[in-house]
Amino acid sequence: MEFKYAIPTKIYFGKNCISKNADIFAQLGKRALIVTGKQSAKACGALDDIIKVMEENKISYIIFDEIENNPSVETVEKAGKIAAQKKVDFIIGIGGGSPIDASKAIAVLAANPEVIAIDLFKNEFKKVLPIIGIPTTAGTGSEVTSYSVIVRKDLQTKVSFGTDKTYPQYAFLDARYTATLGKNTTINTAVDAFTHALEGYLANRSTVISECLSLEAIRTFGKSMRKLARFELDDNDRENLMYTSLLGGIIIAQTGVTIAHGMGYCYTFFKDIPHGKANGLIMREYLKLNYDVAKAKIDNVLNALGCESIDEFADILKDMLGEAPKLTLEEIQLYTELTQIQKGSMSNTPHEINADVIYKLWSEI
């Protein structure tokens, strides 16, 4: 047995965890950049909670609320310049994965004004401002990973970067912030969290530690899965989903993701399908592809979910997410080519992945 495991992020989970630990913010400096999207941080109350803590601790702040659903190189570069010019001491990302991912890029650019955004993906930076991650969705787990996934318009896909320095220093998870989410966002982000746990469990880089966490996350998701499909969630279910999301982030920080994520980026870039939904639409064929080489693990997953077959589980996902879009032959060829950019997710998948396998998957979804 051989493995390594580390997570530098300090995690605070529970109701009112921000106000209960307000002193932490003052330890990071006197000026912060708050990174959000246009609406969600305000609507759920998280932004108000942060502003109250800022004012109580006499910390000045700037709000940058221009993060897109899929943050672009151009947007993080703009925010990074503002953070550098205003000489902020730390970055607070509030929202789904997009604002928190963007916060990591902004924290690098603010600490290294000589670095241009397109060079983030070289992972050659030495300094990063402290980051606080506050999720308002139960999906990406970005608050406990080093990864920052950014849209590269020049490549027509999403590309990630990250080092040990880009982990958030603190993560605050309060499931109350997810209560204002609509049905589609709640389902899409929850499916994203599940796919992190599943892919981490099947990944070639999985370890005995990550596998324990994966099964815990999958079981927890399973407890609320059918209620999620009906969108009949209570506070306990929302905590279950937030916990699943947290575990999913911890898992992929150790294991990385597999080809399902690598493929899903095409759906998101070209079809504007939310990331979690994109992954979920691929699950049926993804699980069937890997069943021959990971039968015992996939059977464990189905058992943890209370399902007897891949198709039973995939039908539940279909009820949640709907049908996958029909692709033309030209789209299948393009998506196959672009998926092959994701070398890490290809090599991390149990089944051998090559252009023919990817083309077949796209053809059968």
What would the mean pLDDT of 331-343 be, rounded to a whole number? Answer: 97
pLDDT higher than threshold 90 for residue 181: yes
Instruction: Specify the fold of 10-177.
Output: Rossmann fold (3.40.50)
Domain boundaries, the chain: 10-177, 182-364
Distance, CA of 230 to chain centre:
23
pLDDT higher than threshold 90 for residue 62: yes
- Structure confidence at residue 278 (pLDDT): 98
- Structure confidence at residue 40 (pLDDT): 83
pLDDT higher than threshold 90 for residue 89: yes
Return the DSSP state at 45.
S
d(CA 278, CA 109): 30
Strands of 31-35's sheet in order across: 10-13, 170-173, 131-135, 90-95, 31-35, 60-64
- For domain 182-364, the CATH architecture is Up-down Bundle (1.20)
pLDDT higher than threshold 90 for residue 234: yes
The helix or strand, by DSSP H or E, that contains position 133, with its residue range, turns out to be strand 131-135
pLDDT tens string 45-57:
999 999 999 999 9
Which residues share a beta bridge with 158?
Answer: 151
pLDDT tens string 110-163:
999 999 999 999 999 999 999 999 999 999 999 999 999 999 988 888 889 999
- Structure confidence at residue 2 (pLDDT): 84
pLDDT tens string 195-220:
999 999 999 999 999 999 999 999 99
- Structure confidence at residue 112 (pLDDT): 96
pTM given for the model: 0.94
What would the mean pLDDT of 11-35 be, rounded to a whole number? Answer: 97
How confident is residue 3, by pLDDT bands cut at 50, 70 and 90? confident
Quick check: 206 and 264 in contact, CB under 8 A?
Answer: no
- Structure confidence at residue 311 (pLDDT): 98
Percent of the chain with pLDDT over 70: 100
- Structure confidence at residue 158 (pLDDT): 87
pLDDT tens string 265-314:
999 999 999 999 999 999 999 999 999 999 999 999 999 999 999 999 99
The sign of the CA dihedral 290, 291, 293, 295 is: positive
d(CA 152, CA 21): 37
- Structure confidence at residue 167 (pLDDT): 98
pLDDT higher than threshold 90 for residue 1: no
- Structure confidence at residue 60 (pLDDT): 98
pLDDT higher than threshold 90 for residue 4: no
